[in-house]
Amino acid sequence: MDRAPLDTLNRRSMLGITAGWSALAAAGALAQDAPATSPDAASQEPAGPFSFETVIGQARRLASEAHEPRQIELKGTFAELDYDHYRAIRFRPERRLWQGEKRGFELDLLPPGFYYKDRIDIALVTDGVVHTLDFDPNVFHYHPDYFAAPDGAAPADAPHDLAYSGFRVRFPINRPDVMDEFLVFQGASYFRAVARDQLYGLSARGLALGTGGPEGEEFPLFRQFWVHQPEVAATSLTIHALLDSPSVTGAYQFTVRPGAETVMDVQSVLFPRAELTGVGIAPLTSMYFFGPKSRARIDDYRDAVHDSSGLQMVTGSGERIWRPLDNPLALQFSAFSDHDPQGFGLTQRERAFTHYEDAEARYERRPSAWVAPSNAWGRGSVVLIEIPTDTEFNDNIVAFWRPAEPLVEGSEHRFDYRLLWSGQPPDETPLARVVASRGGVKVAVPEHRSFVVDFALGELPFEGLEPRVTASAGEIMHVALVRLPAEARARAIITFDPQDAGLAELRLFLVDGEGRTASETWLARWTPR
């Protein structure tokens, strides 16, 4: 199996290179037509026009065959590129697909090189007919400070027999006259999106395999994409993808609607080549470096640095859970058992600039991502993996759904869900919500710990509310609930004696005067620092 050791993902090299590139005026007299296409008869079923069923059929057949690696030999201009040279190759704005056709969406293609060495086939679908995009090095601008080519033209040694590494999608998401990038697919099965007024942050994946396991992680690859040409003035875009790895194949359909919230309806069908015990459905990957709850090891002028502040869940029974994230000393694995979950996601709750004080990264503008299953997912667990990191440039947080039973070889499994990129996941519950978590040593008794959890009460009255706290190890010495000066805010103050525990799970929620649950549940893991 193609496996790599479990480690943090380097955001700068692995994902950051595809985000936030500004438009670049092209130089030189190049043709302004779209990249070359050719009919792709092999991608079509004989029975009729291309559809999701076509992709499902390909994935099913591929699962019965031996896995073949898709890496290509990078050569010429694209060989041995470092980070800066790769960044200096940019898609020419005048070569965007559908530019000037008023279809609502435009498409940029991404070059091979650097970490991107897999052959990715990209095709357009028009009226059910597939046309593969042939690789053309002339669609890119090559910065003359890095490449010996006049006016940004393709160097003489730029080959024509490679493949694109992915694509980005543009839409007037912020202003009607600007085609902003809001979605990118590149690298293994990774993709990222933003909503209006947001910056790229956390990522999603098609599938996770072996994450957190002792054998290391296998990274399935979206080996082929089919992007459907949108209608004029379209507000949604359909993308199909074929997943492949030594252990599994899969067919995916993404129906994407960008806006104040960017909505992706995802349909997926998996075909295991081998028994899958460590599978992760709808995986999300993010970064948590430090925050007010845990910054003892951090020497930094900022108060917090993270793309996501917590794992949010709504269980099948309707319990609402908030688990603040951590940057631990050792890898931490948490599994929250459930049956037919209503949703889970990695959320960035703190939306004030003053929480971060970072004028460059603007962490307050990073999106939250929410997974809401569209069909019954059965028994399983929401899994959270927290990996130690000493820098903000590493993605060290992973969350996904893990079915209770292995996916056996030769079977078929369907997992459909809505993936929402937004400021906050939609939730109309009247329950109080956690808005801040802090922790530190108890000054009067250094062996004790203090936890401070702030709740936004909304319309709930403070009178009659009481905290309920438990710990899996150690002892809760004291708990109190006080009203804060801020409007409709309450603070729970917990004194915890860990005793000789090496780990403890703390659980807190509020009840009203009649003993009914009045807040979401705060879950936190304590480990020695």
Which residues are registered as beta bridge partners of 505?
525
Q: How many CA atoms lie within 13 A of 310 on its CB side?
A: 24
Answer positive or negative: Cα dihedral of 173, 174, 180, 185: negative
CATH code 2.70.98.10 for 3-422: yes
Domain residue ranges of the chain, discontinuous segments joined by +: 3-422, 433-526
The CATH classification of domain 433-526, taken from the options 2.60.40.10, 3.40.50.2300, 3.40.50.620, 3.40.50.150:
2.60.40.10
Degrees to nearest 5, angle at CA 109 with 104 and 110: 140
Strands (E), 298-366: 305-306, 310-314, 320-324, 332-339, 343-347
Backbone angles phi, psi at 152, to 5 degrees: 80, 10
Give pLDDT, residue 38. Answer: 66
Q: Cα–Cα distance between 166 and 92 in angstroms, integer?
A: 15
The predicted structure's pLDDT at residue 192:
98
Q: How many CB atoms lie within 10 A of CB 314?
A: 21
Amino acid 179: pLDDT:
97
Structure confidence at residue 36 (pLDDT):
72
Q: Contact, 309 vs 348, CB < 8 A? A: yes
Q: Can you give the pLDDT at residue 520?
A: 97
Segment holding 55, helix H or strand E: helix 52-63
3-state class of 111 per DSSP? coil
pLDDT in tens, the chain (529 residues): 333 333 344 543 444 443 333 332 322 333 345 677 766 544 444 457 999 999 999 999 999 999 999 999 999 999 999 999 999 999 999 999 999 999 999 999 999 999 999 999 999 999 999 999 999 999 999 999 999 888 899 999 999 999 999 999 999 999 999 999 999 999 999 999 999 999 999 999 999 999 988 888 999 999 999 999 999 999 999 999 999 999 999 999 999 999 999 999 999 999 999 999 999 999 999 999 999 887 778 899 999 999 999 999 999 999 999 999 999 999 999 999 999 999 999 999 999 999 999 999 999 999 999 999 999 999 999 999 999 999 999 999 999 999 999 999 999 999 999 999 999 998 888 999 999 999 888 777 888 999 999 999 999 999 999 999 999 999 999 999 999 998 899 999 999 999 999 899 999 999 999 999 999 999 999 988 7
Write down the pLDDT at residue 33: 58
CA distance 62 to 25: 42
Q: How far apart are CA 317 and CA 496, in angstroms?
A: 29
SS3 per-residue string spanning 253-278: EEEEECCCCEEEEEEEEEEECCCECC
Task: Give the Å distances, CA to CA, from 365 to 7, 171, 185, 362.
Answer: 26, 18, 21, 6
Quick check: helix, strand or coil at residue 345? Answer: strand
The length of the chain in residues reads 529
pLDDT confidence of residue 18: 39
For the whole model, what pTM was predicted? 0.91
Q: How far is CA 152 from CA 11, 112, 215, 357, 477, in A?
A: 27, 17, 45, 38, 68
Note the pLDDT of residue 28.
31
| pLDDT confidence of residue 19 | 37
